[in-house]
Structure formats: structure tokens, C-alpha cells
Structure 1
């Protein structure tokens, strides 16, 4: 048995439900490892789990992204050994912990030149940006797209990734400072949605045509206006619900707007094949190593102060990536 501390909650609700508790861990079983976590990623999906938008059994735990060192391996584990540096960004919640027992299936091997904080800040966000721009709607040189939350963790990586592809991204953000940050990170245009109507600005920037694809993690507040930004046969990529769940879709609205397409992809689906998972991670590490993608870790919180990190995240006070440190 191993003693550790972790964030737990007994009921869904606001950040105040999060509690710092001591807990006992059993030894790793077949196909499992004991991981000492060095850095943990903060992501909006953690809020969905805490509030119950994405329900899970109670008492609950949070977090799907972390990086650390394997301290023990269970029976039958192959390909991983004590001392290996690994990270993960899929699987059951529970990353908000100093140590945890995890199955090897979601683990990704980390190169020695990728720091733990960088891995914890980039695996979920970077691989999300990768599957959006490379696999869901593969952008190429000359393509134009709209990307909401351009100054967020996924958004800043997506902007740099699009620039490396030669594609043009139009971003939206909630302040002049965030728009400036987006422009510094690969966006060709940045729209302050507090000051400007982004539909009008997108149409102005595209000579009235609109864009062939919108990447939207905001959800309810931007849904209808995002559809209005699409040109005929355009693709709406909904990959988050930061403002709340998307309202029910009427297929006739998609027809009337120009035979539009809608998809709701997930990272887990794209990484279900372990070979593809490591290939995607290696491609992300190569972009980081080359300097084409820089990971902006702008907030660090002690893990025990996860509630404050959630408050700041929901208030949209955070910029770029945030890590929790055990």
C-alpha cells in the first residue's frame, strides 16, 4: 500500500466541493503501473466532471492529464519499466493526485527533452489541436478557418500549428490583450468578441464568403453564430461546451444554411489505436522540439489549491496552459 494525497469531491457543484484528502493506494495490478506525478494539466473538461455536466459516480475524482515517473509495475506489464518518464491525457479521471495507479493503455512515452510540465500542459491540448487540424478537417497551405478561444491552451497551440501548415486562422478571444496574444501565436486575424460581432468580421475578412470550417469549443453561446460563419458545404467542428451544452440541432437548419456538416469528435476516438496515439504524440513533440509550437504555461497552482484554479479557469482569467503541481 502507498499513501498519497488527492483532490476528491462527494457531490457535484462549484469549486468549493473539491477537497484535499489522504488516501491509500493498492499495489498495481495486472497491466497497471504506479505513477509518481510531477505535473498535472488543468482542462475545462475537469469542470464538466465537477459540475456533473459529464456525470460520473460519486465520490468522484478529477483530471485526465498528467506526467511523471513509473515507480512500480504490475504483473504482465510490457513495454514500460520502473523509471520510465510517461504522460497520459485519456482514460478515467483521477489525475489530481500525487500518485496514482493507472493502466498502461493510455500511457505515452516522453522523450528526455520534453519536461514534465510541458508534457502535462500540452498532451491533451496539443493532441486535441493535432487531431482537429490534421485529422478532423486536415488543413493545408492556403486554407482559412475560424477558431474560437484563440488565447486558450488549445487555441494557442492550434494557431502555431496552423502557421506551420501555411493555413490562415481567424481567432476569437475575449479581450484586446488575448487577441494580441493570439496574433503572436500564429493567427492571421483576431476578433475581440466583446467589442465586435464576429460573424460580421468573419464575413468582412472573407469577402462575404465565410469560412469552410469552424472549430468551436465554446458551445451554447457561439453555436448559431458559428454556423452563420460557414460557407456552403462548410464543416462545424464542435469539440467543447465552455459556455454550456449546444442546443438541439435541427437538420433542416443545416440544409437552409447551405448543406452544412457538423461533427462532434473526441480525442479518445482518435487515440484508440496505440500506434496512432504514439505517432500523434511524436508529431507533437517534434513540433515542440523544433520551436514551431511553444507551450505557454502561464499559471501554476499547488494541487491542493485546485479549487482556486477552477475559479480562475471558469472566470476566463487564465491564458494559455495551466498546471497543478503535487
Structure 2
């Protein structure tokens, strides 16, 4: 569903948002797309368990936990941060995943960096038995295949397609399925330019660019300006935004419009990648710092 943003923009620019967050109440946005073919592959391989990786507030962890329960898989989450072992009930994301039946393996940050090493995975297999491995963030070739289905025939009218970028899977799928006249803009939630090379391993087209000025300090970082923007945007449009990915992208797009980045009469499509489950966790952090919280409910 493409929803026009009800804000008056200069130069006859029109902005729409594809509400991927509405696909599924718990496996929303790009997580639904990334898991679609991975779950089918796990069934084809006759695996009964899914194992994946993530942090304390990971949308991916929550989505795998729910999808696993729905599709009758056991799920194992390797969680970054051994200090979290006693804080599951205090953490909205981990509490939800646990209630969906996910088992946790808490590891320190040094061990977590070894998550792609064969000896590390062998140790997990010794402990948990055979499993289907889903990478951190869900990005692999099957995930990109799923993300290629985000765009459809009705999206051909847009000049720019914009999406948040985490592990590069979503933007890679969009780049692969976009039409030749469309420019793809990615807004990384992380600092640094390393994602350029990651994307190039999945795509051949050159119709894309990363806009790296709107990460707000890096992954999981927000400030008062971003919180105020998300709250005001909801008041103006009734569209909820998450603070880690989509909120930063929308902030960036509206800022670029004011800076005349886009030519007159441009039609821009923003991809809402979901992630709204992470708001509760972010609000807990904001409350602890006695800062304003994100309000996406009337």
C-alpha cells in the first residue's frame, strides 16, 4: 500500500510511503520479505530449528522468534551481550522472543564477532543440534530474492525509491528490481562507508547512492531532534516511524527536499521497513535518561 504523505512540498514534489510495516503485525516490513524464502528453504532441507544472531533490541530476533513459532520451528537466538542473561524480562524485544519460544545463547561482544567462523558455529551445533542458519539481520541471497518483491508494477511512476539500510539486503533487492529510470537512495543507520562494498556483492546495477548524513550518531543512536520529528510526523500524517531505520530515512528525505536535492516535479517513494516493535525498548532508554519519548499512538 502506497500512502501519499499529506505535507505540502516545494517544487511540486510528491512523496509517498510504501507501508511495508502493515504486512504482518509481528513479522513486518523487510523482515517478512527476508524470511519468506529462508523459511521455505529450511523446510526443504527438513530442518526443525532456526538459529540466528542479534542485539538486545533486534527487530530480526523478534521476527524470527514469531515466524518460527508460526511455522513450527524451534528458534535459537545468539544474543550480543552476556550481561543480558538476567535482563530478559526487562527487555521488551527479548521478552517477546522468549514468549514465542526462542532459546537464547548470550555471548560477549568479542565472541559475537566470531559468529561467521566455522569453529564457533560447530560449537553451537554441538550444543543445539542441527539448525538452519539465518545471518544477523537476515541478509543472504534468499533474503534479497524476497526483497526484490517489494516493488511492483504500480511503482513504475516513481523517480526515486528510498529505503533505510542496515545489513544491505533490502536495498540490494530494491536495486535489482527497480526500473532503469529510477534512482535508489539508501540511508544507512550505521556510521561508515563499508556498506558500499557489501551492496556491490549483491547487485550489478549502478542506479543507487548511499546518503550517509542521517545516522544520528550511529546504530541505535537518537537525539531530541529525531524524537521530536517522529512525534510531529505522526501528528501530521498518522504514520508511525521507528527511530532506528525508517525515522532517520524520512527525516533525511524531508531535509533533502528543503535543500533542493530533488528536481522539480519528482515523485518519491519511501519504503517503510517496519521495526516498530523496537520503540518500546528505545522509550525505556529515553525514560532512563529523563528524555522525551516517542509517541505513535493517539
TM-score (norm 2): 0.37
Determine which structure has greater relative contact order: mean sequence separation of CA pairs < 8 Å that are 6+ residues apart, divided by chain length.
Answer: 2
TM-score (norm 1): 0.34
More helix by share: 2
More strand by share: 1
